[in-house]
Structure 1
Amino acid sequence: MAQLKIRWRLVALCCLVGAASSAAWAVPSYDEVRGAHRPSETLVLSREGEVLQRLRTDASVRRGEWVALQDISPALRNALVLSEDQRFFEHSGVDWSAVSAAAWGRLWHQRTRGASTITMQLAGLVDGDWRRGPGGRTLVQKVGQTVAAQVLDRRWRKDQILEAYLNMVPFRGELVGIDALARTLFGKAAHGLDAREAAIAAVLVRAPNAAPQRVAQRACALLEKLQARKVDCGALQLFTESSLQQRQWPAAEGVAPHFARRVLAQAVQTATESGRTDAGQELPARLRSTLSAPLQRQAMRSLQQHLRELQGRNVEDGAVLVLDNASGEVLAWVGSSGALSQAGEVDGVLALRQPGSTLKPFLYGQALAERRLTAASLIEDSSAHIPTAGGLYIPQNYDRRFKGWVSVRTALAASLNVPAVRTLAMVSPDAFFAQMGALGMPLRESGSYYGYSLALGSAEVPLLQLTNAYRALANGGCWRPVAGAVHAAARLPAVATPACTPALDARAAFIIGDILSDGNARAPTFGTDSVLATRFWTAVKTGTSKDMRDNWAVGWSQHYTVGVWVGNAGGEAMHGVSGSSGAAPIWAELMGQLHAQRSSRAPQPPAASAKQPALLRADVRYGPDPATGEPLAAARSEWFLPGTQQTLFALEQGAAPQLAAAAQGRIARPAPGTIVALDPDIPPDRQRLQFAARLAAGDARALRWWLDGKEVARGAHWAWLPWPGRHRMELRDAKGAVLDTVAFEVRGAGVR
């Protein structure tokens, strides 16, 4: 009976060994193993193929790129063979001499070196069935591993075996493969490891979790064998202990961290929608994005350099977005100022901020499309008291002074607040709320919640939505979402281009672009030499939110739309930084970079269609200013929607108070009691207070202007650079007699 049991056990053992041998023959090829290698990092590439960002996407292990054997330090190759398998290049996968020595040692209870070769260890790494468990390998596993090693040696070259082993072997903790080890512990690529580092790496293969002192001792002994001379083991121990504590390979690095997260999110979403269940686990090692590497670096440099120039003004954050007008692809996405920011993880492209005056183009565009206004229409910039449910709403310009009757072109280009609020009163907050939603800027509250302050950008929108809305203006009022972040050349399926959604009358969008590109219309506020005046065609609008918490510059050319935000991620107010001094220089620099080798031509007016007649262009002139008798605006040629054109724009009799003209003369402006506050969105040297006198008869050159008891000018007009304080202006004749007097006040920081 006992013999029968022994016989059955032998039969069972033979069957198991046979099964193990059969399984061992199913060894994958070198190409299959290398093709299945997945780094724990995903590389986000630019549209040109350059690495923009590296992000860790596998938290279970730290595994780098597959490194070819010729790119691995010769010192490490030699140290590994000497440490693990001295007859590697001689045996056929199994070192039978070592096996015999190990068996003999066990028989006599002697401690001997293990008989496992590099090839046998690789067999365990390639096929988990032969991997050593907590209690060691079973007899079947040992047989299977031995057979698999011989099959590997027969089918693979020795250099392939050594290369695969170095890329797959666990070293220490979560580090797997030589690339992860070299970059994490030594801060270098695998080809740069010296003899000391190679000895430490080779020792970690055998004892990955050994104490640093033990690792140093073994490394010292190995290094002495390699160099055939004595080594300073004390110094090597200090170096080993220091190296094993290093973590020099950050989880992420590059110039597009925020955009890279968007790329990965889109990759997972696209893979999930295509039916892959492992979408979140096996991302491609490389993803080509739509970003342009040179432009991304330039955008980051420009933002950081300009913020350094603003040092001392309590501004440390910013964001930049560049979109291709035609495709909607993101060409640059800078979410923060990086090391300059205390909140570098916050993505300023997606953060909700108050857009200030950058919403005005959409408001005026809606009013033009609804034929409530034309670009030549006169709109009053004066004190307004608008009744609301919460009481009277009294909008003010930044400088708390009014410019009287101005054209819509001037009101938008000069960014006047009161005319914008009057325009919103015509359109209604709820209608403008709907218009913003059509342009891809859905607000969290209703139009009635924001009220008339919506005209001045009191709502919050992210730079991404705002810039894409300006892109809609560039595309004739046609809105499309921003294109996917993954480039069409990437391995993932390309997403079809969405259809155009008409969000604004193409003719109104064209007129708004014409106004925002008009340097003459901007000149009264920004001057003819403004940073916004590019040498090629562009349309741009700046904006500053309440208390200087945000400032913006958003605009487009024939091919690109660029949006820039400058401020503080925490919402702190900046000190004297406006849209023209904060965001505009960055916008202009990037536009210059984009068009260094590419022209930008002014758009043509939309062609006529069966549903939409073409725009009309007509010469217009303006009636007199009741205060001065001069034309309200200069005569010019203007664009009109059909049916809205007219040649003369003048005030009806009694539309504005007429000042009685005395023969001796009087001050026409400013009005008595005027309060002037310097506009933080306008360069200070452009904020001159205009004094004008009205003289019915006589020589205007005889008039004298006396400010606070001192003569400052002569003639009917004078422009003064305001200085804070209460002031008194007197108009005198040539003999010194006082003809008229006004008292006014200037508030804000002065300019010396």
Structure 2
Amino acid sequence: MLGIQVLKSKKWISFFALIIVSISLFIFSLRVFLTEDSLKENISTLYYSQEENLLFHQSSDLGKLREWNQIENFPEYLINAVIASEDKRYYYHPGIDPLSLVRILKHFIATGRVIGGGSTIPQQLSRILNPSWKEDHKLIRKCKEISFALAITLRYTKKSILEAYLNSVSIRNNSEGFSIAAKRYFGKNIKYLSKEESIGLVVLMRNNYPSEESFHRRVQELSQSLGNEEEVNLGYLESRLLFKNPGSLRNEEIGAENYHFTEWMKHQFPNFKGNIISTISSELNRTIYEIVLSELRVLERYKASNASVVVFEIDPKDKTKIRLVSMIGSRNFFDYDAGQVNGSIAYRDAGSILKPFLYAQAIDSGLLKPNSILEDKEFRIHSENASEIFIPKNADLKFWGDVTMAEALANSRNIPAYRTIDTLGTLEFRKFLEKLGFHHLNRSTDYYGHGLAMGTGGASLFNVTYAYSAFVLDGNLPIIEIGSQGDHKLTVNKVKRVISSETAEEISGILRDSDLRKKAFSDRGFLNFPYPIGLKTGTSKDFRNSWTIGFSDRYIVGTWVGNFSGGSMENVTGNWGAGRIFQSLMRHLVSTSPVVQSKYHHTDSISVCRKTGMRARETCPMISIKMRKSFHPSKVCDLHSDQKITKSLEILSPSNGQIFYLSNKLPLDSQKIPFQFRNLSESERYQILLDESTKINIQQNNKLGINLSKGRHKIEIKNKDTVLQKVEFTVQFKD
């Protein structure tokens, strides 16, 4: 007897264990087949700017517009209206409403027909998530609905199911979800809907195209059931929901200048769905686009038809990240011939724009220092089999003799660059370019040869502008943020060190020094700014491509001008073509943010002789270079040791009649007027007077900066009562 009881007990234990295992497997299978994203199927993809202006929307796979919003953004009275209208017992049933099912079953037994109505929110959501069920018999479809509704109620919270329903239910005109409907019919974000607007949209759920009489009756019934004591403005709801075509989701002022970016985003994240708040600023993109169009109207007479721009903003809180805030791909996205070519990611000859990377690698390899002397003389490059000889030329077809590496880079001398890559090795430089992200080089190194120093391997504006960020960010290539979805950041690339911190600072110091590039570039050209801006230009063979890449302490900017056909322009250099867009663009960026004086943590300024690279004597032709202390030369130049000082103290800058333009939007302290003198050792014999009364004490390196007010000013060098040199100049303010 006892044995039988034990046996029965074991059977019951096995039975309950089987039930527990079955339930566990069922719940496990629900989690496997119903993922966190299962409720978000068939949603649209919408790209917004950082100002939350809609840039582009892409319909779901079913051709519907559906925007996903968190339930916290829906007004409480809208949620209450939906539940009152569709599923009064939503929070109390397991996914199906037993009372409604009993009513439907009674009617089926009595008539043999399945009546509609009684579907809970989980059941309606089941139909939305499974549109193919429409092909099934009504009874089969109802059974599927019940099963799926029970399953999703077990799998998800009531809050998640309701959120999915509010974002997915059909309203009207291919609009699914209240978020899209609120924007199309009321021009509002969902969170700003009024009570009557919410009620009007809820009424459209049952019948997307009701008659006026039916619409009036249902609005009033729903309003009363919610205890709304305010009078509903039926005329307003009619005008918006019954008689007016739905409005555009996109502000018409947000133009096609953003389309290249959204197309690029779709390529980067082809399977991404939902709302994406991008890092692109629609306001900045519009301003830059207008600058591009304005400058191209000047350049088109020189056979330049197109331009592209890329702007990255440095994250002020995290220097390992930058944000893509502007991308202009072409002059006109809708141009029939080549408008949809995105010039910012197209590859083309880069000219001199890659020279900073060549010299940076040479410094890190121990081959050069910023004060190293390079020969700017005739240089012959022999092919591998010595059957051909290539003789490179400078852009001005002149030789400068011995020059420092700093001047060779700042003035974009070609022959010193060819000498450097010849010493470094073309294969080593190619490997370095690939480390920087130039993975498009698909031919042999011998094919590119020494021309890699002059950009013959090509580059895209996006990649080379990104690579320049290493000069600003301590030698590191940063993460690029391009958008976010909720708390999830959309990024490309990872942090990677490519050059040393010291080298990055030395190269950026050279590129920021406008005095170093004076010999090759005009004082009044597009490359001069009243604040520290680092930059480099490039011009490819036959004036096919014009480049300017540069940076402030907050932005990295790349500009390109040329023709998508590859045709030549008429003498449009990097300075004069892309440089003019860069000038206007950088001035705009600086006017919207405070100027930060460049800080140097690894380098100090030192005066060196232009011809020997050694410490400069007062008799030397000298330049000031920022270098790490271990690079500072210990020897004093002996080339000019026997020369005597015969020249008087002289004003080099400003020049007579020069006009300085200052911005009203920037602090005056950050806009000092630059003064430069020659023959500093003679200063003790003379007086330097500003506006006839203020004595000037000359600082180290013959330079100083002074804040001046608006108006005409005068600087004089006097020996007792005799005026030896006088320079008059003007300071003006300009927005």
Aligned to 1:447: 445
Partners of 1:221 and 1:547 lie apart in 2 by 74
Residues 502-535 of structure 1: CA deviation (Å, up to 9, x unaligned): x3x5555444333322222222333223333333
Cα 1:320–1:376 shift into 2, 3 Å: same
**Cα shift at 1:357:** 1.0
Aligned to 1:40: 43
Aligned to 1:19: none
Partners of 1:40 and 1:339 lie apart in 2 by 32
Partners of 1:96 and 1:306 lie apart in 2 by 67
**Cα shift at 1:242:** 9.8
Q: TM-score, normalised by structure 1?
A: 0.56
Q: Which amino acid aligns with 2:117?
A: S
Aligned to 1:432: 429
Q: Secondary structure at the match of 1:432?
A: helix
Partners of 1:550 and 1:195 lie apart in 2 by 59
Q: Secondary structure at the match of 1:359?
A: helix
Partners of 2:380 and 2:196 lie apart in 1 by 82
Tell me if the contact between 2:172 and 2:204 (Cα under 8 Å) persists in the aligned partners. Answer: no
Aligned to 1:462: 460
Q: Secondary structure at the match of 1:525?
A: coil
Tell me if 1:556 matches 2:551.
yes
Cα 1:185–1:645 shift into 2, 3 Å: farther
Tell me if 1:375 matches 2:365.
no
Partners of 2:623 and 2:573 lie apart in 1 by 31
Tell me if the contact between 1:317 and 1:569 (Cα under 8 Å) persists in the aligned partners. Answer: no
Partners of 1:164 and 1:509 lie apart in 2 by 50
Residues 712-752 of structure 1: CA deviation (Å, up to 9, x unaligned): xxxxxxxxxxxxxxxxxxxxxxxxxxxxxxxxxxxxxxxxx
Cα 1:507–1:140 shift into 2, 3 Å: closer
Aligned to 2:297: 311
Tell me if 1:634 matches 2:621.
yes
Residues 307-340 of structure 1: CA deviation (Å, up to 9, x unaligned): 3332261333312131528634232343324672
Q: Secondary structure at the match of 1:321?
A: strand
Aligned to 2:123: 124
Aligned to 1:473: 471
Aligned to 2:345: 350
Gaps of 5+ in 2: 1-34, 221-237, 613-617, 641-735
**Cα shift at 1:187:** 7.8
Q: Secondary structure at the match of 1:519?
A: coil
Aligned to 1:64: 67
Cα 1:53–1:219 shift into 2, 3 Å: same
Structure 1 residues 168-177 or 488-497, which shifts more?
Answer: 488-497
**Cα shift at 1:353:** 2.4
Q: Secondary structure at the match of 1:458?
A: coil
**Cα shift at 1:555:** 2.4
Q: Which amino acid aligns with 2:432?
A: Q
**Cα shift at 1:634:** 2.8
Aligned to 2:312: 322
Aligned to 1:731: none
Q: Percent identity?
A: 22
Aligned to 2:176: 176
Q: Secondary structure at the match of 2:394?
A: coil
Partners of 1:496 and 1:227 lie apart in 2 by 53
Partners of 2:339 and 2:111 lie apart in 1 by 64
Aligned to 1:742: none
Partners of 1:535 and 1:523 lie apart in 2 by 15
Partners of 1:33 and 1:366 lie apart in 2 by 48
Q: Secondary structure at the match of 1:331?
A: strand
Superposition pairs for residues 177-256 of structure 1, below 5 Å? 177-180=177-180, 205-206=206-207, 219=211, 222=214, 243=245
Aligned to 1:334: 326
Partners of 1:587 and 1:266 lie apart in 2 by 27
Partners of 1:221 and 1:447 lie apart in 2 by 78
Tell me if the contact between 2:345 and 2:462 (Cα under 8 Å) persists in the aligned partners. Answer: yes
Cα 1:646–1:552 shift into 2, 3 Å: farther
Residues 471-514 of structure 1: CA deviation (Å, up to 9, x unaligned): 223345x343534546799246999974634x3x5555444333
Partners of 1:161 and 1:446 lie apart in 2 by 58
**Cα shift at 1:345:** 4.9
Q: Which amino acid aligns with 2:169?
A: V
**Cα shift at 1:405:** 1.9
Tell me if the contact between 2:314 and 2:555 (Cα under 8 Å) persists in the aligned partners. Answer: yes
Structure 1 residues 541-550 or 125-134, which shifts more?
Answer: 125-134
Partners of 2:129 and 2:448 lie apart in 1 by 69
Partners of 1:129 and 1:331 lie apart in 2 by 38
**Cα shift at 1:221:** 6.0
**Cα shift at 1:258:** 5.7
Q: Which amino acid aligns with 2:622?
A: A
Partners of 2:162 and 2:330 lie apart in 1 by 41
Tell me if the contact between 1:616 and 1:645 (Cα under 8 Å) persists in the aligned partners. Answer: no
**Equivalent of residue 301 in structure 1, options 275, 283, 287:** 287
Q: Which amino acid aligns with 2:373?
A: S
**Cα shift at 1:421:** 2.7
**Cα shift at 1:195:** 12
Q: TM-score, normalised by structure 2?
A: 0.57
Aligned to 1:683: none
Q: Secondary structure at the match of 2:328?
A: coil
Q: Which amino acid aligns with 2:177?
A: G
Q: Which amino acid aligns with 1:40?
A: I
Q: Which amino acid aligns with 1:635?
A: M
**Cα shift at 1:358:** 1.0
Aligned to 1:663: none
Aligned to 1:405: 401
Partners of 1:528 and 1:194 lie apart in 2 by 64
Partners of 2:289 and 2:534 lie apart in 1 by 21
Structure 1 residues 169-178 or 534-543, which shifts more?
Answer: 169-178
Aligned to 2:574: 579
Q: Which amino acid aligns with 1:116?
A: G
Partners of 1:143 and 1:643 lie apart in 2 by 83
Tell me if the contact between 2:47 and 2:55 (Cα under 8 Å) persists in the aligned partners. Answer: yes
Aligned to 1:512: 507
Partners of 2:41 and 2:144 lie apart in 1 by 28
Q: Which amino acid aligns with 2:323?
A: L
Aligned to 1:669: none
**Cα shift at 1:63:** 1.5
Cα 1:65–1:642 shift into 2, 3 Å: closer
Q: Secondary structure at the match of 1:137?
A: helix
Tell me if the contact between 1:62 and 1:176 (Cα under 8 Å) persists in the aligned partners. Answer: yes
Partners of 1:170 and 1:288 lie apart in 2 by 24
**Cα shift at 1:578:** 3.0
Partners of 2:637 and 2:266 lie apart in 1 by 57
Residues 71-92 of structure 1: CA deviation (Å, up to 9, x unaligned): 89x99x99x999x99x99xxx9
Partners of 1:161 and 1:288 lie apart in 2 by 24
Partners of 2:285 and 2:129 lie apart in 1 by 53
* Rg larger for: 1
Aligned residues: 558
**Cα shift at 1:126:** 3.6
Superposition pairs for residues 645-724 of structure 1, below 5 Å? 647-648=637-638
Cα 1:645–1:387 shift into 2, 3 Å: farther
